[in-house]
Amino acid sequence: LSADSDLDTTLWTLAMGYTLARGSWGNFDVIGGFRYLGIDAHTNYRLAADVTGPGGNGVVLGRNGRLSGNDNIWNGIAGVRGRILVGDTGVFVPYYFDIGVGNSRLTWQTFVGVGYQTGWAGVQLGYRYLSYDQGNSGLVESLTMGGPYLAVNFSF
C-alpha cells in the first residue's frame, strides 16, 4: 500500500491602488484588482487488492491508478495597503489586506513586516497569509498558505 501526491499552484495578484492619505507618518492606499489561482493536483496509488462496489459489483479502484484534477479560480479583490514610517530612520512597517469573491466563496490575504528604505532601494522582511474558501464545489474545499517573506523594492 502506497501513494504519492503532488499539488502545483500558480498564483497571480494584479491590483491598482490610489493613495487616500500621505504624510510624515506614512501612507494609506485603497486597492482593487483580481487574483488568479491555478491548481494541478494528482495522486498515484498502489493498493494490495482491487476495491469493488457494494455486493462485489464492478471495480471502483484498481490496484494501481492515478487520481487527478485541475482548477482555475478567478476572484475580484479590494483592500488596503501602505507603510507606517518610523521617524526619519528609513525604517517602516508595511501592511496589506485584501478580500475577494468570484469563483471562490471567499478569499483573503494579509501581510505585515518591517523594512528599511534608503533612497530608491529598500528591503522588507515579514509574514504573509493567504486563504481560499471554495465550499464543497471545488477541487480543493479550502486552501491556506502562510509563511515568511523577503522582498526587495525599488522606488522610481
List per-residue pLDDT tens for the chain, 156 residues long: 788 999 899 999 999 999 999 999 999 999 999 999 999 999 898 887 777 777 666 666 677 888 889 999 999 999 999 999 999 999 999 999 999 999 999 999 999 999 999 999 999 999 999 999 988 767 888 889 999 999 999 988
Enumerate residues 6+ apart whose C-beta is below 8 A from 101.
75, 76, 107
